[in-house]
Amino acid sequence: MAFIARRLAFYVVAIWSAVTINFLIPRVMPGNAVESAISRFQNLTPQVVKALEIEFGFHPKGTIFSQYLQYWNNVIHFNLGVSTSQYPTHVSTIIGQTLPWTLTLVGVATVLSFLIGTLLGVFTAWRRGGAFDRALPALMLLQATPYFFLALLLIQAFAVSLTWLPFGQGYSLGLSPGFNWSFISSAITHSILPAVTIIATSVGGWMLQMRNVMLTTISEDYILVAQAKGLSTRRVMFTYGARNAILPNIAGFALSLGFVVAGALVMEIVFSYPGVGFTLYNAVTSNDYPLMQGIFLVISIAVLSASLLADIAYAFADPRARSRSAF
């Protein structure tokens, strides 16, 4: 398990970097975040102004090092400050309300996209020059399309022209979140278009990578031997071919997660989906710096945790990874 230990150490460094970057940004950026927040919101009480100043390192108390320790203390206790745009709500409360929406939507859509893309990649490689292979250029176009543009097209087609699906918000107005069927069904129908957007734009990448590795794998001698033995096509394709070709896709999962999440954030803005992406957008447009930074921190931790899980899955899938040292 030396591999997992090394990966764990790496993610500790990565999380430390994310927190440190977050600490440094307001201190090295030109302009005074507090002043812009104060000028925007006249109704802030002196205590809040003071708290903001301490948080962003203006009129600092103590050395930068003691501020840094204080900052870490706050992060560990999930004390991310007070939102200036939704004053006096705590940033952690806002994130707590929005994060489940994003985690559910992006999580389900990403896993579906990975599974569909990998499976399509296997078939495409097996039937090289077939229908799927010829469709690759179309998928490349999707890959090069901005998420939000595709989202606009889907809204135009399915929500405005055909009026099959609702769009905007996470559930119908007039419903309140709870465990009842009308709310859940409303939430599901509202999430179909966003999920399709994520899947459509990311499935091509998984498919392409799987196809390329699979092409190399199926030209190996042991595949030929397996076929010569008379094993069924399905067995050769999946147990002999895909089983070995999937490793780079799993390894790539950890690295591409950041891109998928980034796209999903922008997609949320188009759909006004009540997740962290839309909240980040609102925070930026209203200069709510504590909220912006809190969201970056939470997204980083979520992405890093998911990457770590993908790495552990990789260690189980590839015996070589467990013995090899890799950073």
Partner 1 sequence: MAALRKLPSDAAPAAAPPRGRLGTVAWMTSLGGVYGRLPLKAKIGLAILGVYILVAIIGPLLAPYSPDATSTQSIPEAPNIHHLFGTSATGGDVLSQILTGTRATVVLGLMTGVIATFLSVLVGTAAGYLGGYADEGLSLISNVFLVLPALPLLVVILGYLPHTGEVPTAIVLSALGWAWGARVIRAQTMSLRNRDFVLAAREVGERPWRIIVFELLPNQIGLIAASFVGTVLYAILTSVALAFIGITNFSDWNYGDILYWADNGSAVQLGAWWWYMFPGMATAVLGMSLVLINFGLDELSNPRLRSSRSLRKLGKRSWRPADPTPVILDYVEGSL
Partner residues linked to 82 by β-bridges:
90
Selected binder of partner 1 within 64, 140, 188, 309 (CB under 8 A) = 140
**CA 244, 257, 238 angle in degrees (round to 5)?**
20
Binding pattern to partner 1, positions 99-118, x when CB under 8 A? --------------------
Give the residue, chosen from 99, 116, 296, 312, that forms a contact with partner 1 under the rule CB under 8 A. 296
Question: Which C-beta is closer to partner 1: that of 176 or that of 285?
Answer: 285
Q: Are 94 and 86 in contact (CB under 8 A)?
A: yes
* Residue placing its CB nearer to partner 1 in the complex, 44 or 155: 155
The site string for partner 1 over 206-235 (x = CB under 8 A, - otherwise) reads: ------x--xx-xx---xx--xx----x--
* Residue 200 · residue 150 · CB < 8 Å: yes
| CA 268 to chain CA centroid, nearest Å | 12
Binding pattern for the stretch 242-281 against partner 1, x by CB under 8 A and - elsewhere: ------------xx-xxx-xxx-xx--xx---------xx
- 129 touches partner 1 (CB under 8 A): yes
Backbone angles phi, psi at 90, to 5 degrees: -75, 145
* Residue 145: how many other CB atoms lie within 10 Å: 16
Window 26 to 55, contacts with partner 1 (CB under 8 A): 26, 29-31, 33
Its sign, for the CA torsion 92, 97, 100, 105, is negative
315/303 Cα distance (integer angstroms): 18
- Of the two residues 10 and 87, which places its CB atom closer to partner 1 in the complex? 10
User: Restricting to residues 56-85, which ones interact with partner 1 according to CB under 8 A?
Assistant: none
